[in-house]
């Protein structure tokens, strides 16, 4: 049994955002406690009504954040207001809620936390459940045209699923969080499909969907749109093309986010009746980016940050690295010990010239030695006490035409981004 240290709750109306976040971490003995009963009770007490708002709920193993970011960019460029809830954050908790592309002031966050605290009474909430309700309060206060919600874990039992979407999106399906979601793609598909509602439009970005997903779509009579079946994308000589049954676009610039996610977002845009002209889409693709997702922070050498932390993300990153016309690739890696380290890193084994593996100094963090053991067949593997040390070593070894990639976790990417902020 975990003992939780009590935090005095007097003067909560004067608390800072760090105080609230510390309190959220203290009030529930588990980081994850699946189920909707507790969060639904508190949501009902808030008496917020989103019934007349278009709501897009996005689930998936990978690609949720970038898909949400592209929808957000499209809506803003076409004059619509939008509220986005996304997680986790990298540097600043306020990243989790964006109103019209901007983070919300810390004081507003604190006021929303106080409102949740006042209505929850004795109902225990996890950190994520509390934060989800707080985000919904902030989005309600902004009275936006469209709401975009990113699922935190799975779908069926995630706190976001207290909201009935008007459009459901599943970006990808693969293994991650097996202890919660199951150890087969079929089991994961069932959990992701939990965000669907009868007869609503559903966009499936996963190009190889497990059979249970098709079965659930049939049972719920949803209007399903499938990547590779009803909508398609191609990359032809560095240009991007997209089409569905009645519309074709391109040539367009290659997206700065993974092409599969851009294609998924385009299918959602069609359902939202947004402008799909080549001129509009070119601007959306040019502007859509998200911290920590194929993020370029330096040239000569090129430095790219990516939060890839599971096998599917590792394969996608490997595919991108294979197309890079660089002299050498230097990989800085730090991961959590409960992730599938082997199947995340090994797809890149033959593509990477030098590995710089680091201890990740967070709860559940893997050691450099654990990563090095997986990479025992690599030509060069260097072990470091910290991500920062590994990153500096990679920069010293890299030549101007080389590529340095930092990957493996949100925590890993955050350590390098913090260095950028200090400059």
Q: Which of 15, 63, 47, 30 is nearest to 257 (CA)?
A: 63
Q: Which of 321, 319, 343 is nearest to 331 (CA)?
A: 321
Complete domains list, the chain, with CATH: 12-287 (3.40.1190.10), 295-422 (3.90.190.20)
The C-alpha torsion from 29 through 33 and 36 to 42, rounded to 10°, is 20
Q: Which of 260, 233, 265 is nearest to 248 (CA)?
A: 233
The three-class DSSP label of residue 80 is coil
> What Å distances lie between residue 183 and 147, 160, 190, 191, 307, CA to CA?
32, 23, 12, 12, 22
Spatial separation of the C-alpha atoms in residues 227 and 140, rounded to whole Å:
32
Quick count: other Cβ atoms within 10 Å of Cβ 325? 6
Q: Which of 258, 374, 261 is nearest to 323 (CA)?
A: 258
Task: Encode the chain (423 residues) as per-residue pLDDT tens digits.
Answer: 233 344 556 688 899 999 999 999 888 656 666 679 999 999 999 999 998 899 999 999 989 999 999 999 999 999 999 999 999 999 999 999 999 999 999 999 999 999 999 999 889 899 999 999 999 999 999 999 999 999 988 889 999 999 999 999 999 998 766 565 657 889 999 999 999 999 999 999 999 999 999 999 999 999 999 999 999 999 888 899 999 999 999 999 999 898 999 999 999 999 999 999 999 999 999 999 999 988 999 999 999 999 999 998 999 899 889 888 778 999 999 999 999 999 999 999 999 999 999 999 988 899 999 999 999 999 899 999 999 999 999 999 999 999 999 999 999 999 999 987 655
């Amino acid at each position: 049994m975990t003992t939780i240290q009590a935090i005095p709750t007097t003067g909560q109306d004067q608390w800072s955002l760090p105080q609230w976040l510390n309190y959220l971490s203290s009030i529930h003995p588990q980081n994850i406690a699946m189920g909707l009963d507790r969060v639904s009770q508190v949501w009902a007490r808030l008496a917020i009504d989103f019934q007349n708002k278009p709501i897009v709920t996005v689930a998936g193993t990978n690609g949720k954040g970038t898909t949400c970011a592209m929808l957000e960019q499209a809506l803003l460029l076409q004059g619509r207001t939008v509220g986005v809830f996304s997680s986790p954050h990298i540097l600043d908790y306020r990243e989790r809620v964006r109103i019209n592309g901007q983070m919300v002031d810390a004081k507003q966050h604190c006021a929303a936390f106080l409102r949740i605290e006042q209505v929850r009474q004795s109902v225990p909430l996890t950190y994520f459940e509390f934060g989800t309700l707080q985000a919904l309060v902030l989005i309600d206060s902004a009275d936006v045209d469209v709401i975009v919600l990113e699922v935190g874990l799975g779908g069926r039992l995630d706190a976001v699923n207290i909201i009935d979407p008007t459009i459901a999106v599943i970006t990808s399906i693969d293994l991650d969080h097996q202890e919660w979601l199951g150890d087969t793609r079929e089991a994961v598909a069932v959990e992701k499909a939990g965000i669907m509602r009868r007869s609503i439009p559903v966009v499936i970005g996963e190009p190889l969907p497990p059979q249970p997903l098709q079965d659930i779509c049939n049972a719920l009579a949803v209007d399903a749109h499938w990547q590779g079946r009803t909508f398609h994308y191609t990359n032809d000589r560095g240009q991007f093309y997209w089409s569905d049954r009645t519309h074709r676009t391109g040539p367009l610039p290659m997206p700065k986010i993974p092409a599969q996610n851009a294609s998924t977002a385009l299918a959602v845009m069609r359902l939202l009746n947004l402008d799909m002209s080549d001129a509009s889409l070119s601007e959306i693709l040019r502007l859509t980016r998200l911290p920590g997702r194929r993020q370029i922070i330096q040239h000569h050498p090129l430095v790219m940050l990516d939060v890839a932390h599971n096998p599917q993300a590792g394969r996608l990153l490997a595919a991108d690295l294979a197309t890079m016309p660089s002299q050498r690739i230097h990989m800085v890696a730090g991961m959590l010990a409960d992730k599938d380290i082997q199947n995340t890193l090994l797809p890149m084994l033959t593509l990477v010239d030098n590995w710089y593996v680091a201890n990740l100094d967070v709860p559940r963090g893997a050691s450099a030695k654990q990563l090095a053991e997986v990479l025992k067949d690599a030509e060069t593997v260097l072990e470091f006490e910290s991500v920062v040390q590994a990153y500096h070593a990679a920069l010293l070894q890299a030549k101007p035409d080389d590529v340095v990639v930092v990957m493996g976790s949100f925590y890993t990417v955050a350590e390098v981004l913090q260095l950028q902020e200090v400059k």
